[in-house]
Amino acid sequence: MTHLAIRVARLQNAIVRELNDSHIFVRQALPLLEQARGSYASSPHKKDRRYYVPSVARSKFARRKDRELREIYDRFTSTRLYEAFLITAIGEFEAFLGRVLKEILVEYPQKLSIAVPGIPPYRQLPLEVLIKASTRDEALAGAVSEQLRAVFFASPKAYLDYVSKVAGVQVSDVAFADYLELKATRDLLVHNSRQVNEIYLEKAGAKARGQLGDAIPVDSAYFDAALATMKRLSGIVKRDVEKAFPRNRGAAQQGVEADER
């Protein structure tokens, strides 16, 4: 079986690639969107055009003037595109953390007894999970899935503390505080129409980027910084897992070969 540190390194390589792919796509798409925006900005056409829009019952069409199309492009190229990709990137990063925890908990099931404030230890396997399991490994996989579901329902600070305890990750780097602000921003985008609220201010702490009632800004610079932060965090996770679960010489060589592929 491949060493745990190597498996985590591969997961880290994958999340970095995903985050980089998002950045490459956005940068490649923006000139095309700007070009389309320019064509609408200079269009002399004054009447509505019809655009297909989805509908449950039957095909429908929305009407927009070219001036309104230019406004749509303005909105998406300045902020909405970055918001959408930020939300996706944070989801991918959380999935990376979940995969790392799963690798560790499956190999070291005794760590299911670990608790941090906001996340209790795993104590009892639900009967339905036990009934469905035909082997010990399947029962363990069910227990790990149940625990991870609870972990990521907790606050970001709690699940980062849990990652620290389970994986041996040091969370003192400033990038972890930056990530808490990223998650708080994501929650505003999804749940509060981009408006800063008390929950955001509490979660973001000293990293808060606005006052109560402000619209939270998400632009090109913030998007780039967010991706860089998550890439840095993934590297810290990889580094600290390597320290906590060191490879032997043969495994280290195997990891180098895997990385080169």
Q: What is the pLDDT of residues 138-192, one digit of tens each?
A: 888 889 999 999 999 999 999 999 999 999 999 999 999 999 999 999 999 999 9
How far apart CA 244 and CA 106 sit, in angstroms, is 16
Q: Where are the beta strands (DSSP E) in 9-59?
A: 49-53
Whether 257 maps to a domain, the answer reads no
137 — pLDDT class (breaks 50, 70, 90): confident
Task: Supply the pTM of this predicted model.
Answer: 0.90
What pLDDT was estimated at residue 205?
A: 95
260 band by pLDDT with thresholds 50, 70 and 90? very low
Total domains present in the chain: 1
Least confident stretch, 65-79, 114-128, 203-217, 222-236: 114-128
Residue at 20 is within a domain = yes
Domain membership of residue 66 as a residue range: 4-49+60-250
- At residue 261, the pLDDT reads 33
* Residue 39 forms part of a structural domain: yes
Q: Is 179 domain-assigned? A: yes
Q: Give 113-131 pLDDT, tens digit per residue.
A: 999 999 999 987 777 777 7
Is 255 a member of any domain? no
Contacts of residue 56, Cβ cutoff 8 Å, sequence gap at least 6: none
On whether residue 145 sits in a domain, the answer given is: yes
Give residue 126's pLDDT.
74
**pLDDT at residue 76, rounded to an integer:** 97
Residue 252 has pLDDT above 80, yes or no: no
Closest CA to 162 of 207, 88, 100, 205: 100
Is there a domain that residue 55 lies in? no
pLDDT of residue 125: 77
Q: How far is CA 123 from CA 119, 162, 163, in A?
A: 12, 16, 18
Residue with tokens 């129409």: 193
Q: What is the mean pLDDT of residues 7-35?
A: 98
Answer yes or no: is 259 within a domain: no
Percent of the chain with pLDDT over 90: 85
